[in-house]
Structure 1
């Protein structure tokens, strides 16, 4: 029988790898097929939500319907569906559309630094030394990533940079908002229902049936990969890994997402990463390792 820890590590790597490949696939669709982020986000959330909710109902119907039996939790789930789930999906794909998958995915990893700032302000406690180090690493890394070391120029479009910062903010909300719901009902019901709610709302608002791309195997193959493997399976693999390994370990292994997105963007889509961009990316991703190390070596509850 496979070692549970090895199984957990494998799942925690596979999920982020699929996310990274999905981001690069989305960049290809935006550039070569002219699919809009509005359409892709709507379809991605709608179909993934349907599949995850169906999976949850088949495996544990009672548990997956439990949240709807409590009015306050149901309202909060709907709130999270828009402010957390839909916002994180939309800002991420807009950042890819306006910039590129590698930079968007790396900027998303600024979320631990934003959580540190929020907790310091809300608790009125000065951040720990390790938190200050993380903030300095994140700030320096961001400057190097988007300016190539020159404060007078941007190496990515302004839209890509701003949407990338939006991705970091929405990822922070996605991390902090559903903690009570996840503890009470589990990950599959909350992720599945929030995707379905966000997907239905986006689809109706954007009227996806009016923007269907012309049929090509490469187009719909790419969309299918983003929806099925880059969303449903990626979430299931990563969330399942948490039953075998600690969240801190999983968060470190989550760095495989920007690593895979960067490698594929450079290899197949011509994205250029020089010394400054690479150094900036390493500093930003390094905040995850610093925070995970601090969580393991501290008796305090980790903040991210």
Structure 2
């Protein structure tokens, strides 16, 4: 295996790993330190967005502001900042607040199934066989995950389930919406500006300075980790990996996010994860691998 590919795989694993750890830390802050999801999302986007924009300015100032020189693209960026970036961040952390980090992160990986359904209606074509298999896997996995195998009862709060499903929808929007902007301007300016815009808009509706958590080293160390390692560095690592490996490979390695969140939730937060929900999680994550495999097969020229 070539060194650049090894580097790419390492970066693609490290980004989701940090996302998963930050989700577990967020759950600790919600349950033990009286931090609200609204406050954490606002701070996370505002500070991380500012840091990413500054990073972009240091590495290439002209590229960082290029999107604002095109009125149409600037409007697209602002739209994405609200319905893509801010919405995906908010639904994810609310799913953790009302449920737990492990379940919220796995439900987020239902996004390929949501995309399949969206494209089916948009193109007015029946899904491929592999897409039907993916949908069945995703549905079965979700049922097992949220019922723990007891089909007549929910094993997580209804609000946690609804926010988790919302996370899958907003993650799909986040994936589909900014493609042209990312290809034209690069990932760091688009992610940085969208986070900063989302953070500023949240601060207008939810004034973070009026609801500051009580000071403790644990609380603000956790917040710092979520902001710096779990957001800024995680995005940079993952996006940088795409320079060395294919997006399909990176998407499969994204399963390190729910894996790390689940293991840490079990070890540190006492979340129970039995056989039914484990099988459910594997089925949901399996849809990512299946869709990635299908994408790679489509790129192979016919002999």
TM over 0.5: yes
Q: TM-score, normalised by structure 1?
A: 0.97
Root-mean-square deviation over aligned CA pairs: 1.1
**1:167 and 2:151 matched:** no
User: What is the deviation of 1:223?
Assistant: 0.1
Superposition pairs of residues 34-113 of structure 1, within 5 angstroms: 34-113=34-113
| In 2: Cα distance, 1:164 partner to 1:129 partner | 27
| In 2: Cα distance, 1:153 partner to 1:11 partner | 40
Alignment-derived partner of residue 276 in structure 1: 276
User: What is the deviation of 1:151?
Assistant: 2.3
Alignment-derived partner of residue 192 in structure 2: 192
User: What is the deviation of 1:212?
Assistant: 0.6
| In 1: Cα distance, 2:176 partner to 2:196 partner | 20
Q: Which runs of 5+ in 1 are unaligned?
A: none
Q: Return 290-299 or 60-69, whichever deviates more.
A: 290-299
| In 2: Cα distance, 1:148 partner to 1:19 partner | 25
Runs of 4+ in 1 over 3 A off after TM superposition: none
Report the count of equivalent residues. 300
| In 2: Cα distance, 1:29 partner to 1:162 partner | 21
| In 2: Cα distance, 1:289 partner to 1:213 partner | 40
> Which digits, 9 at most, give the CA deviation of each residue in 1:203-249, with x for residues without a partner?
12101000011110000000000000000000000000000000000
**1:23 and 2:36 matched:** no
**1:131 and 2:131 matched:** yes
| Secondary structure at the counterpart of residue 298 of structure 1 | helix
| Secondary structure at the counterpart of residue 273 of structure 2 | coil
Q: Which runs of 5+ in 2 are unaligned?
A: none
Alignment-derived partner of residue 219 in structure 1: 219
| Secondary structure at the counterpart of residue 270 of structure 2 | coil
Q: TM-score, normalised by structure 2?
A: 0.98
> Which digits, 9 at most, give the CA deviation of each residue in 1:176-217, with x for residues without a partner?
000010010000000000000000111121010000111100
| Secondary structure at the counterpart of residue 154 of structure 1 | coil
User: What is the deviation of 1:114?
Assistant: 0.4
Alignment-derived partner of residue 233 in structure 2: 233
| In 2: Cα distance, 1:293 partner to 1:229 partner | 30
User: What is the deviation of 1:51?
Assistant: 0.1
| In 1: Cα distance, 2:214 partner to 2:94 partner | 22
| In 1: Cα distance, 2:299 partner to 2:30 partner | 46
